Structures are given as structure tokens and as C-alpha cells.
Amino acid sequence: MHGDHVLGVPGLLLSLSLSGRTREVQLLGPRGLRGFVESALERMRAGLTFGLEFHEARDGLELSMCGATVRASLGRHSAPNYAYRVEFRRPGKFHPERAEALGIPRGPLWKALQAGSPISVGGRLVRPEEVMDPVEVKVSIAYSGDTRPTAGLIDLFRGADILVHEATFSWAHRRKALENLHSTARDAARMAARAGVRYLVLTHFSNRYADAGVLLEEARRVFPSSYLAREGRTFSLAPEGLLLRDQPINCRVHVARLYPQDYRPQR
Ligand SMILES: [Zn+2]
């Protein structure tokens, strides 16, 4: 619940509302997030064009949201900090010959099994795993939040495609990192190496580093597949590797639309 992690949430929601979103938004965060977001929106007298659903994080939580499987794990920081792992999964291969052997007619029942629902045929229950290979992970992304390195987090990050890890300090300022319960770039790189992730994206830099390049160099000495997060930078996982694309940020704000009730003619 530190300001640098939550103050932007109401603004982000308002931006989504201004761009006409109607689909519900799900939020996952520590206790207190819901009260903070709801009271900020209420104080701004800002209505949203969509509903919000809140999920409270706790250590070991696993839930399905937005078509992904999300896990949370408590890190070590001066306030309760959760690290997350998000996995997008795809169903395993469907075997038509197995379905036929079980006497399941082609059509809606096949579709239901492929969508992961059990079906009933001739009074017998057939589970999807009888005709499908196990679910595969399509892509997995882990995020550290603010934390010292911990063994529990290595478990959470294990084998992830991308680990987004804080790197507030350089190794030269490791005492500061210890005092403030943050990580150095080298700490982040060691976590990436121990967890066996594919790519490391460093973020959350102290503003004492005018050029975060020093943090990148430090991390790459330990974990060569390290990259820097930057405003407007997109990372795409492609067969040939991690692709980076930089683009300018659109910061336009439509004030009149932010507060529609203030601009409505009074009756
Ligand atoms: Zn922070």
C-alpha cells in the first residue's frame, strides 16, 4: 500500500473509464486497496463506466482471474508486500479417437470437454482429462513488488518466462537496500538466476541514478538476459527472444470528461 504503488490506481481506472470501457475490472492487492480506491473515487465524485471486483492478496493465494491463474506470495518489506505470478494457460491437445472410443458423439459434447467441462454420456461422467492432454502454460510472468530477496520468492518465480523485479539500488548502496528492505540490481539478477527464469526486467530505480545503465550492467554480469523497464517500453515474447519497443507516452487528459457531473447544465 505504499504510495508509489497505489496512487496511480485511481488515475488508471479513470483513464479506462474515459476510453469507454464497460467490461468489469478486477483488482488484486493487499488489504486496504479496496477502501483506498473506493474512497479516492468517491472524493473525486468520479463515476466509472464499469464495475470493479476486488480480490485480497494473502500468502499462498491462488486464483483464476481474467483468464489467467494468479499466485501471490508474501515478500519481505517495510509494509506487507505481495509478489505475484501470472500464468496464461492453454488446454492440452484433444484426442478425438479417445472421445469416439468412449462413445461421445462429435458436436456440443466435444466442445464442452475442450472447454474444460465434464460431460455425461450414457449415464457416465466423462472428465476432460480422459480425452485431453494436461493443461500447458502458455506464458508466465512474475513480479516482485518491493522486497528483499527470499527463498519463498524463488519458488514463486521458478521457471517464469519474464521476471519483473525491483532494483532500487546498486550493489554499492547495498547497505541502504538492507536498511530499507529493498533489492539491489545484483540481488534481482541472483534471484533470476536461482529461479531459472528466461528474462529479467529491472524496475523501481532510486532517483539517485540519473542513468539506470549502471544497474543494468550490474545485473547482466550475473544474469545476461536482463533488461531495463522504462516508461512506454513494451516487451514482447517472440520465438526469437524478447523484443523491446519504445514509444512516447500519451498523457492527454480530458478534464471536461473526467468530471462530467460538474459540466452538466444545472436544472
Ligand atoms: Zn516502491
% of the chain beyond a pLDDT of 70: 93
pLDDT at 263: 43
**Length of the chain as a residue count:** 267
At 89, the pLDDT band (50, 70, 90 cuts) reads confident
Cα-to-centroid distance, 8 and ligand 1 (Å):
12
32 phi and psi angles, rounded to 5 deg: 105, -20
Fold of 60-91+135-229: Metallo-beta-lactamase; Chain A (3.60.15)
Residue 221: in which H helix or E strand, if any? helix 213-222
At 91, the pLDDT band (50, 70, 90 cuts) reads confident
Cα-to-centroid distance, 30 and ligand 1 (Å):
14
Cα-to-centroid distance, 1 and ligand 1 (Å):
9
At 250, the pLDDT band (50, 70, 90 cuts) reads low
Tell me whether residue 262 is one of the annotated catalytic residues: no
238 C-beta neighbours (distance < 10 Å), count: 8
Selected catalytic residue, list 4, 211, 246, 262: 4
Q: Are strands 162-166 and 136-143 parallel, antiparallel or unpaired?
A: parallel
* pTM confidence score: 0.82
Lowest mean pLDDT among 29-38, 133-142, 184-193: 133-142
Domain boundaries, the chain: 60-91+135-229, 93-134
Structure confidence by residue, pLDDT tens digits, 204-236: 999 999 999 999 999 999 999 999 999 889 999
